[in-house]
Structure 1
Amino acid sequence: SSPFEFLLPGICQEGNGASYRGTASITVTGKTCQRWDSQTPHGHGFTPDNHPSAGLEHNYCRNPDRGWTWLWCYTTDPITRWENCDVPACDLDTKTACEGRTAQLSCSDRKTLLIVAANYGRTSATHPCFCGSNFCTNCRSDNSLSVVRAACQGNQQCTVTASNGVFGDPCHGVGKYLEVSYRCITVWRIWAKQGPGVAQDCPSTSYRAVLCVSSIPGVSTQWLLVSICCLVV
Structure 2
Amino acid sequence: MHNGIVARTAATAAALGISAALTFTTPAAAAPEPTPGEAALIALTEQTAGDPAARPGVDALRSYHDIVAASEISDVSLYAPFVYAAPTFGCGSNGVITTTFAAGTSNGPSSNLHGVPGTLTFHATPRHSGIPQASGIVVAWININNGRAGLDTLSDVTEFGTPSLSRTVNSGPGTVLASMWGTITYPGALCVMTPTVGLFTVPDAPAAAPVPVPDAAVPPPAPAPAPQSAPAAPGQPAPAP
TM-score range, shorter chain: under 0.3
Higher helix residue share: 2
- RCO higher in 1 or 2 (8 Å CA, sep ≥ 6)? 1
